Amino acid sequence: MATTVKQNGQITLPKAVRDHLGLTPGSQVDFRQTADGSVILLRKDHASQIDRFEKLRGHAGEGQNTDDIIASTRGEL
């Protein structure tokens, strides 16, 4: 689906997108940029649900690598 950006920066969301997100006149939306540079559109009241998981995303931190974990599981360490 595509839409055109008007001179003042406004766009019209395609009906399929509005229906999918359950947007009605007066609904608020939130735009988020992802790590790969894409932008996602969320219904504002659903954005807080995403936020609590977003902070858990990414690398678990320093620790054992895969080979160490496998060796430990086999009792080799």
pLDDT in tens, 30-68: 898 988 999 999 888 765 555 566 666 666 667 778 888
Does the residue 17 lie in any domain? yes
**Quick one: pLDDT at residue 11?**
93
Q: pLDDT by residue (tens digit) across 7-29?
A: 999 999 999 999 988 888 888 99
**Quick one: pLDDT at residue 76?**
81
Does the residue 43 lie in any domain? yes
CATH number at residue 24: 2.10.260
Does the residue 2 lie in any domain? no
Does the residue 18 lie in any domain? yes
Q: Distance between CA atoms of 32 and 34, rounded to whole angstroms?
A: 6
Q: Distance between CA atoms of 62 and 44, rounded to whole angstroms?
A: 34
Does the residue 32 lie in any domain? yes
Does the residue 75 lie in any domain? no
Contact of 41 with 29, CB cutoff 8 Å = yes
**Quick one: pLDDT at residue 4?**
94
Q: Total domain count for the chain?
A: 1
Domain extent at residue 34: 11-47
Does the residue 40 lie in any domain? yes
